[in-house]
Chains A and B, each alone.
Chain A
Amino acid sequence: MIAENSTQAFQWTYNENDQEFALHGSLRPQKAEELSNCISALDQSVSNVSGKFYVNVRRLVRMNNVAFHAIACKILDLVRGRSDLDVHVTTSSVVGWATRKFAVLETMSDKITVSEYDSEFYPGQSFVEDSEFIHVLRTQTKLTWKHEKDLLRQHGLKPGMQVADICCGIGDFAVLLQKEFSPDRLVALDHSKSSLDYARQVAADFGIKGIDYVFGDAADMLLEDNQFDFVTCRHSLQVFDRPELILKELFRICKPGGRIYVTNEKNSHCLGEPRGESIQWTYNEVAKLWHHFDMDIEIGPKSRRLLIEGGFEDVTIGSFMVTSTDGDPQGFADIIASWKNLFAGKMASERGDDAAFVERFAKGFDDHIFAALHPKGYAGWPIWVASGRKPL
Chain B
Amino acid sequence: MLQMDLDIGDFCSNWAHCDLLSAYLARMVSHNRLDSLLFSNLYSSALNELLETVFRVHGKSGKLECSVRRQGGLDRIELVFPADEDTFRVYSEAIDKLSGKDAEKLYLEALFTEDEPDASLGLLELGVDYGARLAIDRAGDGRMCLVAELTLEDENE
Contact = CB atoms under 8 A, between A and B. Distances in A.
Interface size class of A (residues with CB under 8 A): 35 or more
Interface stretch (B61-69, B72-80, B81-89, B108-116): B108-116
Interface stretch (B1-9, B38-46, B94-102, B143-151): B38-46
| Most B-side CB within 10 Å, residue of A108, A187, A212 | A212
A100 B48 CA distance: 17
A240 interface: no
Contacts of A108: 108, 112
A366 B15 CA distance: 65
Given A64-B48, A214-B36, A107 B16 contact: no
Interface string A201-214: 00000000000111
Contacts of A63: 45
| Most chain A beta carbons < 10 A, residue from B20, B38, B52 | B38
B157 to A, nearest CB: 9
Interface string B14-32: 0110111000000000010
B41 A76 contact: no
Given A214-B38, A215-B37, A65 B112 contact: no
B120 to A, nearest CB: 10
A28 B19 contact: yes
9 contacts: A7-B20, A8-B16, A26-B19, A96-B42, A96-B152, A97-B45, A200-B34, A214-B36, A214-B37
Contact of B117 (A26, A69, A96, A200): A69
A131 B20 CA distance: 41
Given A6-B16, A30-B15, A62 B41 contact: yes
Given A7-B16, A62-B44, A212 B111 contact: no
B37 A223 contact: yes
Contact of B35 (A5, A6, A7, A215): A215
A64 B52 contact: yes
Contact of A101 (B44, B52, B121, B129): B129
A5 B38 CA distance: 25
B111 A69 contact: yes
Interface in A206-249: 212-216, 221-223
B108 A104 contact: yes
Given A65-B117, A189-B37, A212-B36, 9 more contacts: A28-B18, A30-B15, A64-B48, A64-B52, A65-B111, A76-B112, A187-B36, A196-B35, A215-B38
A69 B31 CA distance: 32
B50 to A, nearest CB: 11
